[in-house]
Every structure is written in C-alpha cells, then in structure tokens.
Amino acid sequence: MIQTGPLFLRVVAIEPLSPRLKRITLQSAEGGLLPLSQPGAHLTLTLPGPGRGHRNAYSIVSPCDRRDHYQLIIRRAPASRGGSRHVHEVMAVGDVLEAAAPNSQFSIQSQTRKHLMIAGGVGLTPMLSLTSALRARGAHIELHQIAHVDEVAVFEALLAGERNVHIHTGRAKLDLTNLLARQPLGTHLYCCGPQAMMEAARDAAVALGWPETSLHQESFGAAGGAPFILRLARSGLEIAVGEHDTMLEAIEAAGVAAPSLCRGGACGVCLTSVIEGAPEHRDHVLSEAERAEGRKVLPCVSRSTTPYLVLDL
C-alpha cells in the first residue's frame, strides 16, 4: 500500500459514553475501503480551528482488520485549546474531516511470552486494538485499568470481551511493585496514561531489573514542535514553520527547491549550513561535535531552539 495524500473521513456516529468520553465512528468520505490500520495505531485528525486547525492524534479503538470504519474514543480535555472541545461540542454526524493514514508507534512485540498492559483512564484506547489482535493470536495477556470510580462502568463495558482484566479505582489501588515483581521472564510492559503514571510504572519496573527493551509507552511519535521563523539567506525569503510542518516542507511550500532524498534524517542529502540561530537536531547523521557546534542542520527532520533560524539556502 502506497499512501498518496490524506484521507477524507465522514463522521457517521457520535456516542456519548460518559460526560467526558465520546466514541466517534468514521468511514471513508469517498466510499470504499479504508487503509488497513495496525495494532496500537493512531489517527491524526485535522479538526477545524484558527489557522490550519488543530492536528490531534487519537488511538484507533476498533479492531485493526476492520477496513469499513475506524472508531476513536475522545476525552474532553479540561483545558482544551480546541481539538477535543470541537469533538464534544461542535462535531456533528455528516462532518468530513481530513486525516493522515493510521500510524503505529506502539506495536505488539513478538517473541514475547506475556503482554502486560497498564492503562490510566483514556490511556486504554491504544490497548484495545492491541488486545483484539493478541486475542486472535492466542497470546497471553493481562490488563490493568486505572479508572475514576465514576467511570468504572464505562471501562468495564469497553473491556467486557477480555479475560484477565483488573480494574482499579485510582492509582493507589494498583500495587505496581507487587505486580511487576511476579511477572515471568519474557514479559513485556505496555503503558499508556497520565505522564506521572507512566513514569511511576517505568521506574518501578527498572528498579525491579526489567530491561529497557521490555518497556513500551505510547508516545504518538515525536513529530512537530514549537513554531519558528526560517530565513533563507540566499533567496532572501522569510518562512513561518508551523508546529506540524517540517522545515523541508515549509521550504518546499515557499517554492525553493532544496535537495533532499530520504526525508527521514538518515541520508545527509539535505544537509545545510546554519548562519544564525540554534538548531534542534533530530537527525542520525551529524556527530555529537557537529551538533554541539550548531553550524549544520538537516531540514527534513530537525527544528530550531531559537525563534529565528537563518540557513544558507
């Protein structure tokens, strides 16, 4: 499958699950099959808002083999800048949204004898597609869900099809050390939830001697960052690099033909000199010394730590 361009999805159902949780069902706006999703995958939706809108990533909770629809569960975030507020207050059946094809940074680990999952609140969402895929393969699963007491019924309903599920009303009710200390060799831990919860689980596992390679957290990828202004010294252009753009995309959108090849920070073809400003390096090409010196940057993946960055382009 070669994905060219974004997906256009139509909202076909919006179900309130609780005062703060809604389940959205999306189908292809053009009719036909959707691209196959993957276990642990998320969908990055562009929701209407000022400027280019809000781009938010939500885990796909429907089984990944379903190509007729995707389902998401979205929590109303208390201090929402607009993304989840739009979903809860504005979105209507029939709306068409732009989305990037599903992507997973949180996948099933093979050669694993047991899959242990710890989810906090809506952090359950990436686990649902994992558990349905693992169940189909006959894998050994154990899932612990931390939920507010008033949402226990919702999570029980979402997990009704699973065996070996434990729901805890509040983080204090889950004895992490006890749980992690008794896991057999070859167990992998999958965690998703509030940052503090994920850190506590990770710290407890490391203290018990779990190797880093057995610990997995949903991070939705680390693309994007603070917006900044790019100045191209030779063409005299000034370009705004938005939080979801890469420098290379912004340069190309401005009509400048910058050399590039892999677009993933590995080949070095787009390497450019920095005249002013301090780059934020995300590539795999520059040495530690070159990074520290800050005179070179790979625009296909890297960004800027300063509000302005001037390149020799």
Euclidean distance between the first and the last CA atom of the chain, given in angstroms as a whole number:
35
Judged by DSSP in three states, 46 sits in: strand
Choices 9-17, 105-113, 165-173, 302-310 (CB under 8 A): range interacting with other proteins: 105-113
Q: Rounded CA gap, 225 and 232, in Å?
A: 20
Min dist CB 89 to other proteins, Å, is: 32
Looking at the Cβ atoms of 84 and 183, the one nearer to other proteins is: 183
109 makes contact with other proteins (CB under 8 A): yes
What single-letter DSSP state applies at residue 133?
A: H
Min dist CB 235 to other proteins, Å, is: 22
Q: Rounded CA gap, 50 and 242, in Å?
A: 13
Min dist CB 42 to other proteins, Å, is: 12
Q: Rounded CA gap, 121 and 126, in Å?
A: 11
Interface pick for other proteins out of 96, 206, 233, 240 (rule CB under 8 A): 206
229 makes contact with other proteins (CB under 8 A): no
Amino acid at 28: S
Total of chain residues touching other proteins, rule CB under 8 A: 51
Q: Rounded CA gap, 136 and 126, in Å?
A: 16
Query: Residue 191 pairs with which residues in a beta bridge?
Result: 118, 217
Interface pick for other proteins out of 71, 125, 183, 302 (rule CB under 8 A): 183
Interface pick for other proteins out of 58, 70, 190, 210 (rule CB under 8 A): 210
Min dist CB 88 to other proteins, Å, is: 29
Judged by DSSP in three states, 75 sits in: strand
Interface pick for other proteins out of 20, 21, 25, 39 (rule CB under 8 A): 39
Q: Rounded CA gap, 313 and 310, in Å?
A: 9
211 makes contact with other proteins (CB under 8 A): yes
6 makes contact with other proteins (CB under 8 A): no
Choices 20-28, 98-106, 145-153, 161-169 (CB under 8 A): range interacting with other proteins: 98-106
Query: Residue 239 pairs with which residues in a beta bridge?
Result: 230
CB neighbours of residue 253 within 10 Å: 12
Q: Tokens 């004898």 label which residue?
A: 113
Q: Rounded CA gap, 90 and 84, in Å?
A: 10
205 makes contact with other proteins (CB under 8 A): yes
180 makes contact with other proteins (CB under 8 A): yes
Q: Which residues bind other proteins (CB under 8 A)?
A: 1-4, 35-39, 64-65, 101-104, 107-113, 133, 137, 180-187, 205-206, 208-214, 261-268, 284-285
